[in-house]
Every structure is written in structure tokens, then in C-alpha cells.
Amino acid sequence: MKRLLAAAWLAVVAALPGALPALAEYRAYELELVDLYDLRINKPETPRTSRVTTAMDPDLYQRTHGGPFHVGVMLLATWMCYGDTSFFRAICPRPAPKEPKFAVGDDVAVVLGKHITDGWRGKVEVAYFQHSVRSNVYGVRFAERRSVYARYYEKDLKKAGEPPPQSSPPQ
């Protein structure tokens, strides 16, 4: 019995160097940061903002970079990456949109019946393909609505100059 156990243990130890490396996945985030401390103290006309791509979720990023009284964090985009970020490896880039209907900078209108943003007009700031839903996602900023930012699927937007879709055929 001891011989069999020793042989099994030897086989396991011999197989370890030839084992395949493990693959991992992580979620990447594109965040917009606002310096809330400067906003409260100096009261500038326009707040200082910056963008960062990270593997930290927005809540963790905020807690590790000064807390909610020092930095404001808004999620602009999120996507899955494969590999790892150990030893300061770079985050994978945001996936490009596939056959996009809209480009960054386009003026769009929201077409979402019974939604608070239905009919709002804004400008596309971020466009990317989200593999999990197999659709392009667009980040839209509504300048006339206190710079509210929201993300929409392609089907929920139309060009700002287009007429609204008709629910019934014309007579």
C-alpha cells in the first residue's frame, strides 16, 4: 500500500512541471473621475475630470483613491478581458463596435417607450461591442440635462434628425 501511494505521489510531482498554465479572466472598467475636493474648496466653473481604464470596479476604485468625499467615480464602459494583470500588465483595450450605426460625436435621440429618458437628445461619447449581449453599446451624454451620462443598446437610439418610428402603418 505504501508503495502504491509513493508511486502515485511521484506521478503527481512529475506531472506538475508539464501542467498547462491557468488562464484567467477579469472585468475592465473605463471610469470618469471628478476631483470633489477641488470642487468643494475652489468652486470652479467646470470640474476637473479625467478618465482611467482599470480592473478595479468603481466602488473599490473610489474607496482606494480618497473615498467619496475626495473623488467622484462614474462608470463609462465595462467589458471582459482574458489573461491576467499581475506584474503591472496593461488592461486589454475596449472592444471596437461591430458595424456601428453611430459614431463617437454623433447626435442621437433615445427611443425607449415608457422610460424616463425617452426622447432625450444627446451626444455619443463611448461606443463598444459587448460580447455577452452580442450588441454595440453606446455611452451618451445629455448636456442639456446637467450632463447626465447613460449607456444604451443600438436598438434604443436613433439619429437626432430622424423622425420617430411609427407603431402603425400610415393610412
What nine digits make up the cell of 65?
483613491
Q: How confident is the model at residue 23 (pLDDT cuts 50, 70, 90)?
A: low
Mean pLDDT of 114-128: 95
d(CA 80, CA 31): 15
Q: Where are the domains of the chain?
A: 21-94, 95-160
Q: Tell me the average pLDDT of the chain.
A: 87
What nine digits make up the cell of 64?
482606494
136-157 as b/e: b if 16+ CB within 10 A: bbbbbbbeeeeeebbbbebebb
pTM of the model: 0.76
Mean pLDDT of 109-125: 94
Identify the CATH number of the domain defined by range 95-160.
2.30.30.50
Residue 165's CB is within 10 A of a number of other CB atoms, namely: 8
- Residue 44: predicted pLDDT: 86
Q: What percent of the chain has pLDDT over 70?
A: 81
Helical ranges in 32-120 per DSSP H: 36-42, 58-64
Residue in this structure with the C-alpha cell 400610415, named with its chain if needed? 170
Whole-angstrom CA distances from 170 to 113, 159, 164, 165 are 20, 21, 13, 11
pLDDT tens string 134-170: 999 999 999 999 889 999 999 999 998 765 555 555 5
- Has residue 78 got a pLDDT over 80? yes
pLDDT tens string 79-108: 999 887 778 889 999 999 999 999 999 999
- Residue 18: predicted pLDDT: 56
- Residue 102: predicted pLDDT: 96
- Has residue 14 got a pLDDT over 90? no
- Residue 33: predicted pLDDT: 96
- Has residue 114 got a pLDDT over 60? yes
Q: How confident is the model at residue 73 (pLDDT cuts 50, 70, 90)?
A: very high
